[in-house]
A and B are shown apart, each in its own frame.
Chain A
Amino acid sequence: GNSVTQMEGPVTLSEEAFLTINCTYTATGYPSLFWYVQYPGEGLQLLLKATKADDKGSNKGFEATYRKETTSFHLEKGSVQVSDSAVYFCALHNTNAGKSTFGDGTTLTVKP
C-alpha cells in the first residue's frame, strides 16, 4: 500500500536559519507529491507540488524535488521567518486510487 514517512518534530529554528524537513514515501505507480501547511486553527493549504520524477515544486521560498530513485520529497527553505511557524504535511496522491495519503506532520516553530 501507499505510505508517507516524514521527519518527526517538533523542529525549532531561529529566524533566517535553513530548514529541511525530510519526507520519504512508498507507493505503487507514479504518484504526485505534495507539501501542505496547516496554520493554527486553519485547514490544510497546498504549499507546493510535483507531479513527476525530477520535478521541483516551489512556493514562498520553499522548495522540494521529486526524487524517484530515493523515493523522497524533502522540503527546504533557505531562510525561515517567524510567520513560517506551522505544521507541515507531506502527502502523495495516487491517481489510480483517486486518494491522497498523508504523513503525520512536522511542527515547525521559528523564534525571532
Chain B
Amino acid sequence: EAGVVQSPRYKIIEKKQPVAFWCNPISGHNTLYWYRQNLGQGPELLIRYENEEAVDDSQLPKDRFSAERLKGVDSTLKIQPAELGDSAVYLCASSLRGESEAFFGQGTRLTVV
C-alpha cells in the first residue's frame, strides 16, 4: 500500500513569490494534517481536515497561507506571498478518523531566498 505522497520534495523560490505543496494521503484516511517543521524543531500543526472540512486551522497564518482539500482526498497548501521565515519542511500526514497514529509523508523542503 502506498504511503502519504507529497510533492515536490524540494522547492526554492524568491521571497514574495507564491508556492504550493500537494499531498495525497493514504487511501481511506479521513483525517489529513499539514505540519511545518523548522530546522532543529519538531513539527507544528498548521491545519487539520476531517474529510473536506478544516476542523482546526487556528495555527494557520491566514494572511498568507491557504489550504484546501477538495473531495476529501488530496490536499494543497499554498503560501502567497512567501517570506524568508517560511523556509521550513512542510509535512503532510494522514490517519483514520479518531485514530491517534498518523502516517507522514517525506515532506517538502521549502527554501525562500
- The interface of chain A, by Cβ under 8 A from chain B, is 4, 32, 34, 36, 41-46, 49, 51, 89, 91, 93, 95, 97-100, 102-105
How many CB-defined contacts (below 8 Å) exist between A and B?
55
Contact of A46 among B41, B44, B101 (CB under 8 A): B101
Partner-contacting stretch, out of B14-22, B61-69, B71-79, B104-112:
B104-112
Interface secondary structure of A, over-half rule: strand
| CB <8 Å contact, A45 and B43 | no
Those of B89-113 within 8 Å (CB) of chain A: 91, 93, 98, 100-107
| CB <8 Å contact, A91 and B42 | yes
- The interface of chain B, by Cβ under 8 A from chain A, is 4, 31, 33, 40-45, 48, 50, 55-56, 91, 93, 98, 100-107
Contact of B100 among A43, A49, A103, A105 (CB under 8 A): A49
Contact of B105 among A4, A43, A51, A103 (CB under 8 A): A43
Say yes or no: A44-B104 contact (C-beta < 8 A), given A98-B48, A103-B42, A105-B41. Answer: yes
Say yes or no: A43-B42 contact (C-beta < 8 A), given A32-B100, A98-B48, A100-B102. Answer: no
Contacts of B50 in A (CB 8 A): 98
| CB <8 Å contact, A89 and B42 | yes
Chain A proximity of B71: nearest CB distance (Å):
21
Contacts of B41 in A (CB 8 A): 104-105
Contacts of B102 in A (CB 8 A): 46, 93, 100
List 29 A-B residue pairs with CB atoms under 8 Å apart, sorted by A's residue number. Answer: A4-B42, A34-B101, A41-B106, A43-B104, A43-B105, A44-B43, A44-B93, A44-B104, A45-B104, A49-B101, A51-B100, A89-B42, A89-B43, A91-B42, A95-B100, A97-B56, A98-B50, A99-B33, A99-B45, A99-B48, A100-B100, A100-B102, A102-B42, A102-B44, A103-B42, A104-B40, A104-B41, A104-B42, A105-B40
